[in-house]
Amino acid sequence: MTISELTLKSSDDEPVRRFEVFTGTGRRRDWSDDDKARIVAESYAPGASVSEVARRHALSPQQLFGWRRLLRRAPEPVPMFVPAVVDAVRCEPETVRQPATRRRRAVARPSGGIEIEIDGVVVRVGTGASPKTIAAVIGALKGGS
């Protein structure tokens, strides 16, 4: 009696003639988001074929098309920060001349302000500007570009 006769039986009285043995871990690969994004970007390159890219990475074309579809449906990330450039501005004290009876110390004016550049338009925001006003100005600049 053979092993196939002991363990594997078909619905007929005849023993199974062929069976496959899968080797390896037997689990699915876990692709990182960076790997998926890199492969999807590669599939969008000029002259690239989805089937070729999928074959090169041992994927099925359907899986790659699924990743592309998910990427198209993902919401566009909203940038939360922009690069800031800080220039050193020297505050030179202004001397105020008063009569000899009343002397004042030199007064330094603070120069805390922000300079924003959007598509070549520069907006300088002073220290007393309200956040709502700043947001409205930036929104108007972005809407016009």
Better-predicted residue by pLDDT, 91 or 134:
134
Q: Which of 102, 105, 82 is nearest to 94 (CA)?
A: 105
Q: Read off the pTM.
A: 0.39
Rounded Cα–Cα distance for residues 144 and 137 (Å): 11
Q: What is the pLDDT of residues 76-107, one digit of tens each?
A: 777 666 666 666 666 666 666 655 555 556 55
Residue spans per domain, the chain: 22-77, 79-93+111-145
What is the chain's percent helix, strand, coil content, to nearest 5? Answer: 35, 10, 55
Encoding tokens for residue 57?
């990475």
Better-predicted residue by pLDDT, 39 or 123:
39
pLDDT at 28: 76
Query: What is the CATH code for 22-77?
Result: 1.10.10
